[in-house]
Amino acid sequence: MAQPKWATPSRQAQLVSIFIRSRGFCVFGHKACGIPSHYYEVYIEGLITDWKAQDRQQDTAQWQEERKRFSGVLVEGHDWIGYFC
């Protein structure tokens, strides 16, 4: 089964590190933490959402760069038929 794009080896290692450090509970080390957003499961959901947003931004930037490179290739009025053969 294919891994999601956000699940790079370094990001997976980061999740494991957070889990080991927090033991699946409060990621900030509080003993009796009553803040739900500090718990591992909730915390990593936000982290993964941020990673997905970063990946989208990177994809968009790459697409725009590629678009810039190819925008000057086509010239109006030029007959491109057979040009690349």
pLDDT digits (tens, 9 = 90+) for 34-81: 999 999 999 999 999 999 999 999 999 999 888 877 776 665 666 666
Residue with tokens 């994809």: 59
Q: Say whether pLDDT at 83 is over 90.
A: no
When comparing pLDDT for 15 and 77, which is higher? Answer: 15
Whole-structure pTM value: 0.72
Looking at residue 55, its pLDDT comes to 96
Report how far residue 55's alpha carbon sits from residue 60's, in angstroms, rounded to the nearest whole number: 9
Looking at residue 78, its pLDDT comes to 62
Looking at residue 59, its pLDDT comes to 94
Residue closest to 44 by CA, chosen among 58, 25, 29, 69? 25
Farthest CA pair distance, the chain: 73
Instruction: Determine contact, residues 40/19, Cβ cutoff 8 Å.
Output: yes
